Structure 1
Amino acid sequence: MKMKFTHLLAALLLGMASVAQIPTNYYSTATGTGFTLKTQLHRIINTENDGLPVEYFHTDQGYDAMDGFIANYDLDMYYEVNSNTILDPYSENPAGSDPYTFSPVTDECGNYNSEGDCYNKEHVIPQSVFNQATPMRSDAHELLPTDGRVNGFRGSYPFGVVDDSNLINQSGISNPTQNGSKLGANINSGYAAGYSGIVFEPIDEFKGDIARIHFYFATRYQDLVANWGNYAMFNGTSDVVFDETFLNILLEWHQMDPVSQKEIDRNNNIFYHHQSNRNPFIDNPEYVNLIWNSEPDTEAPSTPTNLIASNPTNFTIDLNWTAATDNVGVTFYDIYQDGVNRFTTANTNFTVTGLTPSTTYCFTVVATDAAGNTSGFSNEACETTTNTDAGNNCLTETFQNIPANSGSYDTRTWTGDNGGTWTATDARTDQTISNRAITVRNGSITAPSTSGGIGSFTVTTKRVFGGSPGTFNLKVNNTLVGTIAYGDQDVVQTTTISNINIEGTVSITIDGNTGSNRVAFDDLSYTCYANLSTAELNKLEANVYPNPVKNLLHITLSKPEETQVEIYNVLGKNMLQKTIQATGTINTQSLSSGMYILRITQGNQTISKKLIKH
């Protein structure tokens, strides 16, 4: 699962990943590769006392205990935040509103006739494979809450890549389902070549989750799995476990959909609140290749091509390029701005933010795979930012990038005109003023922080539907600085709040609507603090040495302010973090040799650098 906002690897430098709560030395005996490593992990996560220095035992809680676990720990806190609904990979729509939702306990099956009737427990490895025996049947790591009808639709079919021209018709359900999961003949080509039978394919957002559940199951039950060779995905062995076609599919899915925060949280909850063992492939995704693809990957990706810089604004430039290729798969791209590695993304497009008006910037891109192999530099692309009201407006927002039109009220997030993330709660996106607008009822609008302070503030409003005139509050850094009035229905009015004059980094919030009126907002802007000096506009710079590093990493900053320093591995796991001022050191002795990403954040500015550990 990657989660919306974009994928975890793209979020790798945006801080989405957090440190899994793994007990100290839990994996200290996992030192091998191949079947040796798999056996070592099996001993760590099984029910037996294997005499390990640190040992927790898988405690089977029984099948019915999963009902309470799901009701408490499988809630959707990742897409529809705080929705108190079940997160179902067979009905979740990561890009927008779900086609239907389930309330914990009250919507548990029960009987069903069609999609959206109820949820039940899906065995990712079907119960028929192990004859409904325990502890497999009640193992929380392989049980997910899913729509009952889609669960029945999937049945006991293996997972694979569906040929869209050979979908299966089944009474009472559409194919693909309402969130895009589908059932049909395996495509029998590419990485899915070698099997043409019927398979079930979840949406891309959850393919890595499914793969890592299979790798857990093959490891946890390696002493039993050789007896279950009647399942198409298994080959009747206790070491490799998987048929070659399905192993290739699972390896590809594991690679394309890295570990998500939801998986990390669920792994912790299973361990600490349910059955006392962990999925090693969520804690340490690199174990997958060490076991099932132990040949080292030394082939570098091809060089990205056709880099184009375009669509400049005062503060942003868009980048697009042609994807690199790799024998295993490209994991992310480093974006160099004027020769300095500043950004990382898993996509082939990116909006560079935090730029200065009337300034020319040049960019190049480098591709990196999961083994740390890097490509050559792409062609250089240069572009000059615009100069519309340069030195006057610190932030402008036309709301053109808000999510797709929707008449329901929900939490909405989007990237603003000047970059950064905007959030509107209890908001809809289908109303207009001059063009698109965000409409808020009992919620709020929060803008990304800017470093130029605030002088005066302007916004246009229009009350839609019924109600009466009223006001919203304008808060700067959580302090009320004025009110934004709106009038009669469909009357457009512009409010300017002058002489706010707050310097430094500011964040604005609009909230406190009176009377539950529905008010559209458009053309928002505010000017910089008038006494802002040139020095305060300087971009964050950092000197990092030595690189490669053996033990102590030294960091010197251009601005002596509180700064967060974080080190991530290439799979997005936060390995180290520290807060420094003008200078600081980080002891990297605990890190294994390899490539990492160093992320330095000061205020609303972030830079990222590649770090090599010897």
Structure 2
Amino acid sequence: LTANTTYEFKVKAKDASGNTSGFSNTVRVTTKEATDTEAPSVPTNLSASNVEETSLSLSWGASTDNVGVTVYDVYQGNVKITSVSSTSYNVTGLTANTTYEFKVKARDAAGNTSGFSNTVSVTTKEGSITDICEGVQTWVSGVSYAIGERVIYRGYVYERTTNGWIKLGKCNASLCEGVDTWVSGVRYKIGDQVIYRGNLWERRATRWILVSSCSEQANKFDLVAPPQRMSTYPNPVRGNILNIVFNPSQGATYSIYNLLGKVVSSGPFKSTVQIDHLQTGTYILKVTSDKTQHVTRFVKE
């Protein structure tokens, strides 16, 4: 039979001599809808265009599906930032002079998802903004803002994150106002900002990124970032993922030792390491980069 189709059935009796009865009652039946288990094809040729300081445009080739593609899920790194029905999306709320990676999945009405498209890596234009609110729109009630978008609300600029809105600063004030100068030996966290050699820098997951010059006299093209110290987060680790904040050279390796000096995990350097096999306790992380060893400790709870 065919799925989701109505049929009628009835029966007659017949004996050996070929005599037949009249029809039985008629039963009317509709078959179940078919279950869609086929995933859409992978989106093709993802590319970026119109790259500016805080925005860019993404476009990709359409996927095919046995029933039909309903949405495309757009990822920034490994975080889904939106779902759209078209084959393009304008990304906003980015940071100037910062490299981002994007990829796309297709999804049908039954929830089947394709594999990821190709990954496109894009570096936004170098910024020249000295007012944190420049170019940011006022918050509008009822609008669904995507992760990374910024708005102005009551004289301050806010950014939408996975954990809600965070306040970035006051409008009509220098980006560098109230920011402390970089201090050697301090273990800075992701999101911390410092002034170093006359420029404003922000600590990201793998490196420092240049935000802005602090004055017209500052050499904005002196892109020497503050020296970094290797660290991990969260520490103590309550889950199974250890995040390493460090930007090593190509070909760097890592090793994790227990307090007896035994290697319990090792391999090519990566910013996230699976540690579900480790027991509760204190461990030593060693990263070898350019023949130099960088060492820190972390605790798994």
TM-score by length of 1: 0.22
TM-score by length of 2: 0.41
Q: Which has the larger radius of gyration?
A: 2
Structure number having the greater strand percentage: 2
Structure number having the greater helix percentage: 1
